[in-house]
Chain A
Amino acid sequence: DAKTTQPTSMDCAEGRAANLPCNHSTISGNEYVYWYRQIHSQGPQYIIHGLKNNETNEMASLIITEDRKSSTLILPHATLRDTAVYYCIVTLYSGAGSYQLTFGKGTKLSVIP
């Protein structure tokens, strides 16, 4: 799986958009970009994933650059409950047993009142 690079920490004002960047310059053509978050010491929570097109769901938007070497997770209106560690993960999405999430250290997002 391709390696990802994320900033260690970020701050965001409550109500503003939180933009979390991720670099994955060695990503291959059939690897997906997944985002999970972990609030305090709870189990990680799936947020969104994508291959090459931008994606949006009820939680967030995922913007993937045209060359797929980087992506940005956007939380449109951050709340205090969005304070968490956010993990960007690149992984294959095919074949039995090949879907293995490799978690790095992620980005600690602090939403400030």
Chain B
Amino acid sequence: NAGVTQTPKFRVLKTGQSMTLLCAQDMNHEYMYWYRQDPGMGLRLIHYSVGEGTTAKGEVPDGYNVSRLKKQNFLLGLESAAPSQTSVYFCASSWRNNEQFFGPGTRLTVL
């Protein structure tokens, strides 16, 4: 099993550009999450999903959109990137409310 994978691993954007981060899990988990981590800080929840076709806002949802069209995938979109969105993005999944399994992260720089 690959566990949780994230694509891409690194990305540099210019202000105003858009992009989509892909998270995939092969553990048949119901729940999926997107977090961001800024330097020297803990992770903050952006959006999460409790099942296919459902999404909900977390602590810091502004500037991001998500979609969960397939159970195994959770997409995070930035419609108009801003320098404040420079961060490391982590995806996670879990079986209902059990422990969360995290991906390796995506390092995003917005110039």
Q: Footprint of B on A, CB under 8 Å?
A: 34, 41-46, 49, 87, 93-94, 96-106
Q: A93-B97, A101-B43, A105-B41 are in contact. Are A42 and B105 (CB under 8 A)?
A: yes
Q: Please determine whether A94 and B97 come into contact, CB atoms closer than 8 angstroms.
A: yes
Q: Is the beta-carbon distance between B97 and A101 smaller than 8 angstroms? A: no
Contact with A along B30-46 (1 / 0, CB 8 A): 01010100001111110
Docked CA distance A105–B37 (Å) = 11
CB distance from A11 to the nearest CB of B (A): 19
Check A41 against B45 for contact (C-beta < 8 Å).
no
A105 touches B43 (CB 8 A): no
| Interchain residue pairs with CB less than 8 A apart (28) | A34-B99, A41-B88, A41-B105, A43-B4, A43-B90, A43-B92, A43-B103, A43-B104, A44-B90, A44-B92, A45-B102, A46-B99, A46-B101, A87-B42, A94-B97, A96-B50, A97-B56, A99-B31, A99-B94, A99-B97, A100-B45, A100-B59, A102-B45, A103-B42, A104-B42, A105-B40, A105-B41, A105-B42
Q: Is the interface of A mostly helix, strand, loop or mixed?
A: loop
Q: Which residues of A contact B101 (CB under 8 A)?
A: 46
Q: Which residues of B contact A100 (CB under 8 A)?
A: 45, 48, 58-59
Q: Is B100 in the interface zone, CB < 8 Å from A? A: yes
With CB as the reference atom, state the residue of chain B lying closest to A104.
Answer: B42
Give the docked Cα–Cα distance between A66 and B33 (Å): 33
